[in-house]
Amino acid sequence: MKRRKPVLLHIEDDADERDVFARMARGRYQVAAAATAEDAETALAEKKIALIVLDLSLPLMNGFEFLAKNKKKISGKKIPVIVTTGFTSESVQQLATAHDCRALFIKPLDIHAILGKIQELIG
């Protein structure tokens, strides 16, 4: 019986970054890509998500707003969250910690490092 690949929810408004991530993760994981937090909420409701990779700078609702709004769904299902951002301030790191994010990666991203962290968190 073939084991199903874990589903990663990648929330990123930059299409090129979504494409690169999906290509790099394809062999080991399924990737549900969302360009907006609203699209991510739909995916979160419809799919069995193993882990979320979340960009903080999104249109309409930023990453932290998404986490706050969906806290019960995410924490209730024990879904680990990895944050990606171009912001390097200490307050961003503190907010990520306050939202129980498991890791924070600063752009430009090292996709191999992110995939290593994903493997560490969910296998």
Domain positions in the chain are 7-122
Q: Which residues pair with 54 in a beta bridge?
A: 11, 83
Q: How confident is the model at residue 101 (pLDDT cuts 50, 70, 90)?
A: very high
The CATH architecture of the domain made up of 7-122 is 3-Layer(aba) Sandwich (3.40)
Q: Look-up: residue for tokens 């990895």? A: 82
pLDDT at 28 over 70: yes
> What pLDDT does residue 123 have?
85
The tens digit of pLDDT for each residue in 40-90 reads 999 999 999 999 999 999 999 999 999 999 999 999 999 999 999 999 899
pLDDT at 2 over 70: no
Q: How confident is the model at residue 21 (pLDDT cuts 50, 70, 90)?
A: very high
